[in-house]
């Protein structure tokens, strides 16, 4: 009788496929946009720092960007430490992360888009079963192009930060992405939180009116901060704590974390 109960909590049924289940205690946050340069990587990295430093969460910053992404260069990670090998040997994922701050590890993405195309959903779920058992929080930086792995991680995510630049052109692009994700790929509307990044004071266009037409709320604005630069992570991490991006994002994440808990 006891033997019959064991598998239950480890499996999730999807389209008749059996997938390893993630640990529900771990919060997964993905950062997406279909506008290049909107600030996905900056927001993901800064969010990782906020969770580790302000909310004292054991955090993994994961790159799911094979365009290729910036993590290798920004965090000076050797090529063999990557998501690709962690997917192959999930039980040994610890070998493929780099610690960059107290409570904060980082895992670089697959740099070859052709290799990324071949990643299987079951392998992603198997790795996340291990990762979510180890970390309180996983923040995922993504690419602008939708592929199978991106959809897998979005389905696994508890919160999706959809980032637009402070312009109508960018907002209209993310509106289309919102529709595609929710209508075509059945991603829940409730977990998508729209963030308008690089807000400039003198720009007076009526983004709120646009948001009403688009039929989804804007969660928060983040100001344009001339002192912010991704390279601060390489040269002077302590300066990041003084930027508006860090301070404003800390407040947004504390609020979302409160709502989640
Ligand atoms: N709030 C901000 N204030 C000032 N500069 C910012 C802000 N957010 C991001 N940036 C800058 O904007 C540029 C693009 O940011 P980032 O690389 O994070 O965008 P991305 O969406 O990840 O781009 P890609 O699509 O190429 O991956 C970087 O130079 C970054 O330092
Ligand atoms: Mg990026």
Each residue's pLDDT tens digit, 54-96: 999 999 999 999 988 999 989 999 888 889 999 999 999 999 9
Residue 191 buriedness (CB in 10 A; 0-12 / 13-18 / 19+): middle
Pairing of strands 17-20, 11-14: antiparallel
Q: Residue 4's pLDDT is what?
A: 38
Q: Cβ contacts of residue 238 below 8 Å, gap of 6+?
A: none
State the Cα–Cα distance between residues 243 and 93, nearest whole angstrom. Answer: 32
Residue 183 buriedness (CB in 10 A; 0-12 / 13-18 / 19+): exposed
Domain boundaries along the sequence of the chain: 13-260
Q: Closest ligand 1 atom, CA of 144?
A: 25
Which bound ligand lies closest to the C-alpha atom of 35? 1
What is the model's pTM?
0.92
Residue 204 buriedness (CB in 10 A; 0-12 / 13-18 / 19+): exposed
Q: Closest ligand 1 atom, CA of 231?
A: 31
What is the per-residue burial (b if ≥16 Cβ within 10 Å, else e) of 214-239?
bebebbbebbbbeebeeebbeeeeee
Give the length of the chain.
Answer: 261
In the sheet that 137-142 helps form, which strands lie side by side, from edge to edge? 98-101, 104-107, 59-64, 137-142, 27-32, 159-165, 192-199, 218-223
Q: Closest ligand 1 atom, CA of 224?
A: 3
Query: Of 203, 146, 133, which Cα lies nearest the Cα of 171?
Result: 203
Each residue's pLDDT tens digit, 245-255: 999 999 999 99
Each residue's pLDDT tens digit, 92-129: 999 999 999 999 999 999 988 899 999 999 999 999 99
The protein residue with its alpha carbon nearest to ligand 1, atom 8, reads 39
Do 166 and 207 form a contact (C-beta atoms < 8 A)?
yes
Please tell me the distance between residue 6's alpha carbon and the centre of ligand 2 in angstroms: 41
CATH topology of domain 13-260: Rossmann fold (3.40.50)
Please tell me the distance between residue 3's alpha carbon and the centre of ligand 1 in angstroms: 51
Share of the chain above pLDDT 90, in %: 66
Do 166 and 39 form a contact (C-beta atoms < 8 A)?
no
Give ligand 1 pocket residues (Cβ under 6 A).
33, 36-42, 144, 197-198, 222, 224-225, 228-230, 245
For residue 237, give the H/E element and its range.
helix 237-240
Each residue's pLDDT tens digit, 176-223: 999 999 999 999 999 999 999 998 876 655 666 667 777 788 899 999
Pocket test for ligand 1, best of 42, 49, 228, 230 (most atoms within 8 A of CB): 42
């Amino acid at each position: 009788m006891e033997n019959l109960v064991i598998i239950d909590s480890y499996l999730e049924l999807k389209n008749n496929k059996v997938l390893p289940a993630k640990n529900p205690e771990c919060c997964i946050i993905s950062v997406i946009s279909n506008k290049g340069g909107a600030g996905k990587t900056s927001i993901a990295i800064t969010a990782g720092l906020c969770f580790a430093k302000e909310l004292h969460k054991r955090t993994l910053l994961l790159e799911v960007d094979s365009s290729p992404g910036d993590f290798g260069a920004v965090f000076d990670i050797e090529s063999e430490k990557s998501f690709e090998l962690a997917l192959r040997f999930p039980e040994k994922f610890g070998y493929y992360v780099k610690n960059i701050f107290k409570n904060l590890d980082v895992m670089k993405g697959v740099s070859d888009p052709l290799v990324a195309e071949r990643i299987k959903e079951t392998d992603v779920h198997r790795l996340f079963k291990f990762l979510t058992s180890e970390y309180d929080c996983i923040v995922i930086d993504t690419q602008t192009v939708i592929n199978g792995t991106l959809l897998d991680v979005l389905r696994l995510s508890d919160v999706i930060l959809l980032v637009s630049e402070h312009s109508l052109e960018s907002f209209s692009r993310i509106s289309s992405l919102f529709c595609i994700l929710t209508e075509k790929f059945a991603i829940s509307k409730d977990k998508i939180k729209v963030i308008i990044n690089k807000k400039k004071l003198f720009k007076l266009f009526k983004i709120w009116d646009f948001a009403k037409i688009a039929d989804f709320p804007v969660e928060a604005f983040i100001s344009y901060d001339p002192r912010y630069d991704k390279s601060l992570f390489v040269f002077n991490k302590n300066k990041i704590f003084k930027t508006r991006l860090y301070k404003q994002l800390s407040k947004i994440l504390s609020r979302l974390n409160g709502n989640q808990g």
